Amino acid sequence: MIYMSLFNFSKYFTFFNFNLFILTKHNKNTKKEAPAPPKADVKVKALKAREMVLRGIHSHKKKIRSSAPRRKKFNHYAFTKLPLTTESASKKTEDDNTLVFVTDVKANRHQIKQAVKKLYDIDVTKVNSRVRSDGEKNVYVWLAPDYNALDVATKIGII
* Longest distance between any two alpha carbons in the chain, whole Å: 123
CA distances from 113 to 18, 55, 93, 129 (A): 95, 51, 17, 11
Q: Is the pTM of this model over 0.85?
A: no
In the chain, what are the domains? 76-156 (3.30.70.330)
pLDDT 10s digit of each residue in the chain, 159 long? 555 555 555 555 555 555 555 555 555 555 666 666 667 788 888 888 888 888 777 777 777 887 777 767 777 888 888 999 999 999 999 999 999 999 999 899 999 999 999 999 999 999 999 999 999 999 999 999 999 999 999 998 888
